[in-house]
Structure 1
């Protein structure tokens, strides 16, 4: 990979590490909030991951497929390995919603930048 490409990939690597740590921390170390607020957290984390993936120039299809699979993996790990955590299909649904939001934001910003350059 050319050296300049690392500048685009590094935010994604850092985000994946941070999200993985947050999702696998023991359940009693994570802050609690109103019911279902964890779904918002999941959506936001995966929106950031999707945006970073597009910044790294992965295609929308690769981003969606890869992050959806990563979401399944983290839910399985929460259900089987993480202490005082549980996996949830609804958390994964929030993950996918976040991916779609991140892809939409990345596309909107890409179009805005393209329009600004055209002026």
Structure 2
């Protein structure tokens, strides 16, 4: 291995070519100061993947409304930050509002490590209906 620094031409000469088609090129993103600044009164809204890709679950068994026995579970996950905990409240309440026939039988919560690109503390909530 040489102690000589590699220049751009040498780096590009040894690079693996990546073929692409013209229609696959992405549109440039405007990163001007005007587009990046937020109004002082507006906080950035927390969004979850569930909001972007909402999928309606059609269960074969209807949740019983007798006050006994749970037959389905829905899991919610959030980071351990105050704003994220407030957000999970909104998500759980919205889910319950969307499903008025579901009777909550039992709720469990667990704090643990959520592993992804990074590892971070998370709250995992299971709502049994």
Decide: shared fold, TM above 0.5: no
User: Which of the pair has more CA radius of gyration?
Assistant: 2
Larger relative contact order (C-alpha < 8 A, sep ≥ 6)?
1
Higher helix residue share: 1
Higher strand residue share: 2
